[in-house]
């Protein structure tokens, strides 16, 4: 039986204490796992267990998420999250890797890709949207929010909404452990954390404004790309997954009958696809 040793560490990045999980040999293909809202690196725990003996997996928590520090005076925006993740990658000396972009991990990860294209050996995109056609009506309403509309964001930060993100669209909710949404809500309920999410909600429109730049980057660099997508996602719809094929026609597309947190239900189907992809694209990340 092969079970990985998983290290749980923190590192200082520009005065921010960033927590991360790491497993696997450093000379193996590296997969940088960027989590979504409202979660943290714990969402990848089962994937790390599945792949962490053969590949090098690194999963940080963004500032103000999970076990990472929420420093006073930190200006929460997607640019600033990307700044810290960029510094984190530099600090760990990861100079070439496959990027896993899920949800918030897409705007953070594509900012990194544009800034440091030499880092990117390939992309695994899981319900990480970079096309306007991938935005549902609910997502478009979220993007339109701005200061003074805090009351529209707060309902999204409740236990009911957090649980709904995990179970919504799932074909078999009994396959989804309650631990994920319970831990997410624990962190959301910490002092100051809801204010962080409100600030990021109001900044989300900055991501949509950058979609054309990220699409141009895909067309220019044509990275090896694996798309695994829960087609019942109420926020990022199936059209967003298919849109990648316009700019990276050779991308591998796999749609699953599940929701936003596709790994929660479909990890037995998705993990082998990622392993096969890392065997090919990841050879360039050693």
Query: Which residues does 138 contact at the CB level (< 8 Å), separation at least 6?
Result: 234, 235
| Token duo for residue 255 | 């749609």
d(CA 279, CA 61): 26
Tell me which residues are annotated as active site: 260
d(CA 232, CA 206): 25
Q: What is the 3-state secondary structure (H, E, C) of 164-229?
A: HHHHCCCCCHHHCCCHHHHHHHHHHCCCCHHHHHHHHHHHCHHHHHHHHHHHHHHHHHCCCEEEEE
The candidate with the shortest Cα–Cα distance to 109, out of 221, 230, 207, 240, is 207
Which residue has 């929010």 as its token pair?
Answer: 145
Question: How many Å separate Cα 131 from the centre of its chain?
Answer: 16
| Sheet containing 252-256: order of strands | 6-13, 16-23, 56-60, 30-34, 97-102, 120-126, 225-230, 252-256
Cis preceding-peptide flag for 38 (omega within 30 of 0) = yes
| Token duo for residue 86 | 């960029």
């Amino acid at each position: 039986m092969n079970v990985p040793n998983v290290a749980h560490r923190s590192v200082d990045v520009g005065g921010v204490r960033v927590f991360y999980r790491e497993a696997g040999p450093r000379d193996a293909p590296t997969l940088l796992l960027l989590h979504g809202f409202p979660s943290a690196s714990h969402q990848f725990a089962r994937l790390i267990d599945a792949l962490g003996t053969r590949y090098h997996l690194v999963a940080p928590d963004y500032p103000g998420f999970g076990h990472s520090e929420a420093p006073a005076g930190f200006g929460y925006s997607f640019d600033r999250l990307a700044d810290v993740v960029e510094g984190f990658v530099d600090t760990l000396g990861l100079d070439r890797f496959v990027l896993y972009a899920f949800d918030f991990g897409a705007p953070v990860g594509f900012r990194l890709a544009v800034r440091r294209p030499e880092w990117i050996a390939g992309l695994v995109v899981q319900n990480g949207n970079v096309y306007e056609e991938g935005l549902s009506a609910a997502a478009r309403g979220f993007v339109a929010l701005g200061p003074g509309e805090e009351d529209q964001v707060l309902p999204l930060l409740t236990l009911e909404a957090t649980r709904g993100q995990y179970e919504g669209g799932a074909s078999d909710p009994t396959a989804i452990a309650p631990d994920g949404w319970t831990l997410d809500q624990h962190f959301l309920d910490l002092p100051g954390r809801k204010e962080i999410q409100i600030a990021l909600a109001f900044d989300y429109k900055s991501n949509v404004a950058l979609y054309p730049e990220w699409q141009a980057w895909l067309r220019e660099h044509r990275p090896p790309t694996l798309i695994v997508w829960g087609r019942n996602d109420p926020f990022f719809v199936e059209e967003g997954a298919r849109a990648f094929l316009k700019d990276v026609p050779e991308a591998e597309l796999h749609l699953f009958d599940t929701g936003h947190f596709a790994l929660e239900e479909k990890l037995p189907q998705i993990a082998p696809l990622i392993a096969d992809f890392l065997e090919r694209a990841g050879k360039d990340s050693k």
